[in-house]
Structure 1
């Protein structure tokens, strides 16, 4: 396997595939205990991604194991913190496990203004991220 592990904690694993120019962030199933913990984890994640040099890579965000949550305080915090995760990459692909997850990420994409492909098909995302092409979910 050509992936190099950059970080691993209770919430995220970050792998880099230099050959394909790809960063993979894998969300664990562990829920965040508080909004403060969410802030801390996203700040660490953002610093690690910054150190890699985001503009050199595509990002595959694997959210399949992550617990779903959409209460208003949580949504507001994620709206503020998502740029620490997804901004600055050449392309962004989001791997989800369900149609509901796909719809939630599409809503985030429209709000964030960061084009991304959202799919339940990992091969489709890998093809998009490693070849020339346009995201199929672009904000209006």
Structure 2
């Protein structure tokens, strides 16, 4: 495991050139907790050669948050962290989750993520 805190777990699979980044089920207590977690996550991901790796962001365990400030922060921070990767797959639990991620992507105006509800499809995309 490359990194772990209360909110994220990160594994690197060098054989597949894959980074698997999973949100835990613990909800952020505040936007300040989210900022601190993302800052630590950025330090950990800086150790990976992102252009040669795909990333799978697994959001299935994450609790939904719909506060505009939090959505904006999480979307922009995730895009900034993940944009340098060769490919980015986001794995969600349901079609509703897929629509939410796509809506946030559209509002941000930049398509960074490809969203999946099927793990094998998400892995295939991330490792292509």
Q: TM-score under structure 1 normalisation? A: 0.84
Q: Does 1:68 align with 2:64?
A: yes
Contact persistence 1:42–1:84 (CA under 8 A): no
Give me the whole-angstrom Cα distance separating, in 2, the residues matched to 1:121 and 1:24: 15
Contact persistence 2:71–2:104 (CA under 8 A): no
Q: C-alpha deviations, 1:30-79, integer Å up to 9, x for none?
A: 00011111000001111111121211210100000000001122123224
Q: Give the structure 2 partner of residue 77 of structure 1.
A: 73
Q: Does 1:43 align with 2:39?
A: yes
Q: Does 1:102 align with 2:95?
A: no
Q: Give the structure 1 partner of residue 123 of structure 2.
A: 126
Q: Aligned pairs, how many? A: 127
User: More relative contact order in 1 or in 2 (CA 8 Å, sep 6+)?
Assistant: 2
Contact persistence 1:46–1:84 (CA under 8 A): no
Name which of 64, 82, 86 aligns with 1:86.
Answer: 82
Q: Give the structure 1 partner of residue 7 of structure 2.
A: 11
Give me the whole-angstrom Cα distance separating, in 2, the residues matched to 1:51 and 1:7: 11
Give me the whole-angstrom Cα distance separating, in 2, the residues matched to 1:121 and 1:41: 27
Q: Does 1:113 align with 2:113?
A: no
Q: TM-score under structure 2 normalisation? A: 0.91
Q: Does 1:59 align with 2:55?
A: yes
- Unaligned ranges ≥5, structure 2: none
